[in-house]
Structure 1
Amino acid sequence: MTQLVPTLSEIAPAYDVLYCDLWGCLHNGKALFPEAVAALQAFRRRGGAVVLLTNAPRTRHAVKRRLDAMGLPEDAYDVIAASGDATQVAMLQGAAGRKLWHLGPGKDEDLFTLIPDWLQDQPPITRVPLDEAEGILCTGPFDEFTETPEDYRARFLSAKVRGLRMLNANPDLVVDVGDTRIYCAGALAQLYEAMGGEVLSFGKPYPPIYDFARNQLAARGITYDPDAVLAIGDGVRTDIRGAQAEGIDAVFVTGGLESHRFGADPANPDPQSLADWLAAEDLHPRYAMGRLR
């Protein structure tokens, strides 16, 4: 049964490493949550390591620039592992061909420009129009504040008929930017797959991003007990199902994407509503809390 806990510090001593989601847990797309930042800093002060594990469809370098601009202190984390990093490896290794149609906003350009040293010897990727493409790299809608997956149905039909494989750089379906909910690459990939297209996904809950996170920890020389890893997230189909698939404990942050299900106060979920919903969804996080704090 899921244990509702008030703070991370109550359970932190049992864990060496945190895999912490960003959007909905550490910030809302516009501003950091001070209590969440303090919780991560406290975990590191007691000797733990923090991986910021995000389904952002861009590299960890771009994620860091954004977090720096938001004012996140560097003592709140050790490494960043982004869905874009894991996607980039597959892209550069030719998982969808060498001529790609990039479906996504310009802010995700770093996937094509910030190439890791160990992949510099790979043949180049060329971005081309859809009718010339061998595959698709999807990082989201072109205009994420106005477009929906249905806006792409005709183009997806053409791509499916031609057998184009899609690399999905962000399995999230939606995300909240402040008070505005927008579609992510995962919603586009979901439609393409439903239409019969082939999709490969790389962020949570899929294995590549967890492999990338472990490699980042190893590169920093951080050793830990693999059984003492805790995932924190508000996405049930990404953070929580990913943790279950990896066999690691999880904290479900109820005050994020699903907050409307658990009462009027996002910081203090109704225990019975939470228990009933988790049972109905066949979800079994070890812990839950209203906000990361």
Structure 2
Amino acid sequence: MTRILQSLAEISARYDVLLCDLWGCVHNGVAPFPAALAALQGFRAQGGRVILITNAPRPARFVAEGLDRMGVPREAWDAIVTSGDAAQDAMFAGAVGRRLWHLGPQKDDGFFTEIPPEWQGRSHVERVPFDQAEGIVCTGPFDELNEVPEDYRPRFLEAKTRGLPLLCANPDVVVDMGETRIYCAGALAALYEEMGGRTMYFGKPHPPIYDMARRRMAEFGLTDDSRVLAVGDGINTDVAGAIGENLDVLFVSGGLAAEQFGADVENPNADLLRAWLDARQQDPQYTIGRLR
């Protein structure tokens, strides 16, 4: 049965590494949460390492630059692993072909232009119009503030008829940008899959992103999974992924599902929380209202 915490400090001595989600835990898409930043800095001050693990469909460099603009200090983290990093590896390996249609906003162009060192000179991937594509790379809707997955049903029907595979660079279904809930690539991929299209996922809760996170851990000389704590607000991504990898997990209830646990976001109602977790057959070791 999950244990409700008031602060990360209650358990931080048990862990050497935090695999910490970003959106909904460290920031809301607009501004960082000061208490979360203090918790991460405090963990690092005690000698811990913070690896930010996010389903952002962009390489880590672009995520770091976004955090800088938002005011997240570099002292709050040690490394970043993104769904974009893991999905890029598969794309450049040819998982969905070489001539690809990009379904996503312009801000995700770095997925194609930021070529990892190991693929320099041998990527052979070309972005092409839809009618010339042999595969789809989906990083989200073109207009994430106004479009919904159903807007893409006609295009997906044609793609399925042509047998185009879809690489989903962000398995998240929705995120909250400030007070606005927006659809992510995961929602589009789910629709395509529901329609009979072939879809591949590379972010949480799927193994490739955790494999990449472990490689980053190893760079710090850390290899003991029992000393790793995953932190996140997505029950089907952060929590399910961590449990699938046999990692301890701290569920941040004040994120995507905040309205399910009572009026006080900082202090989830224990009965509501446990009933909600039971209904989803998930049992994170710990729960906290907001990371602090």
TM above 0.5: yes
Gap runs ≥5 in structure 1 = none
Match of 2:8 in 1: 8
Residue range with higher mean Cα deviation, 208-217 or 222-231: 222-231
Match of 2:260 in 1: 261
The answer to whether the aligner puts 1:21 opposite 2:17 as a matched pair is no
Kindly provide the amino acid, as one letter, of the partner of residue 149 in structure 2: P
Match of 1:161 in 2: 161
* Cα pair 2:217 2:223 within 8 Å, conserved: no
Cα separation, 1, equivalents of 2:55 and 2:159: 24
Deviation at 1:272, TM superposition (A): 0.6
Q: Aligned runs of 1:119-268 on 2, under 5 Å?
A: 119-218=119-218, 220-268=219-267
Cα separation, 1, equivalents of 2:90 and 2:223: 27
Deviation at 1:123, TM superposition (A): 3.7
Cα separation, 1, equivalents of 2:136 and 2:223: 37
> Structure 1, residues 151-202: CA drift from partner, whole Å, max 9, x if none?
0001101111111110000000000000000000000000000000011000
Cα separation, 2, equivalents of 1:126 and 1:276: 48
Cα separation, 2, equivalents of 1:55 and 1:200: 14
* Cα pair 2:8 2:291 within 8 Å, conserved: yes
Residue range with higher mean Cα deviation, 62-71 or 112-121: 112-121
* Cα pair 2:214 2:223 within 8 Å, conserved: no
Cα separation, 1, equivalents of 2:201 and 2:174: 15
Deviation at 1:216, TM superposition (A): 2.0
Cα separation, 1, equivalents of 2:4 and 2:63: 30
4+ residue runs over 6 A deviation: none
* Cα pair 1:96 1:166 within 8 Å, conserved: yes
Deviation at 1:11, TM superposition (A): 0.6
Deviation at 1:288, TM superposition (A): 0.1
Kindly provide the amino acid, as one letter, of the partner of residue 265 in structure 1: D
SS at match of 1:255: coil
Gap runs ≥5 in structure 2 = none
Kindly provide the amino acid, as one letter, of the partner of residue 220 in structure 2: G
Match of 1:277 in 2: 276
Match of 1:59 in 2: 59
Cα separation, 2, equivalents of 1:224 and 1:73: 26
* Cα pair 2:99 2:134 within 8 Å, conserved: yes
Cα separation, 1, equivalents of 2:223 and 2:206: 22
Deviation at 1:227, TM superposition (A): 1.2
Deviation at 1:91, TM superposition (A): 0.5
Quickly say closer, same or farther: Cα 1:44–1:224, change in 2 above 3 A.
farther
The answer to whether the aligner puts 1:32 opposite 2:15 as a matched pair is no
Q: How large is the RMSD of aligned CA atoms in angstroms?
A: 0.8
Kindly provide the amino acid, as one letter, of the partner of residue 227 in structure 2: A
Cα separation, 2, equivalents of 1:243 and 1:183: 23
Kindly provide the amino acid, as one letter, of the partner of residue 226 in structure 1: D
Cα separation, 2, equivalents of 1:216 and 1:93: 21
* Identity within the alignment, %: 58
Match of 2:41 in 1: 41
* Cα pair 1:17 1:224 within 8 Å, conserved: no
Deviation at 1:121, TM superposition (A): 3.2
> Structure 1, residues 213-250: CA drift from partner, whole Å, max 9, x if none?
111222x3332422111010000000000001000010
Match of 1:291 in 2: 290
Cα separation, 1, equivalents of 2:194 and 2:75: 43
Deviation at 1:73, TM superposition (A): 1.2
Kindly provide the amino acid, as one letter, of the partner of residue 264 in structure 1: A
SS at match of 1:227: helix
Cα separation, 2, equivalents of 1:188 and 1:142: 11
* Cα pair 1:205 1:239 within 8 Å, conserved: yes
SS at match of 1:66: helix
Kindly provide the amino acid, as one letter, of the partner of residue 243 in structure 1: A
TM-score by length of 1: 0.98
Match of 1:50 in 2: 50
Deviation at 1:68, TM superposition (A): 0.6
Cα separation, 2, equivalents of 1:250 and 1:226: 12
Match of 1:101 in 2: 101
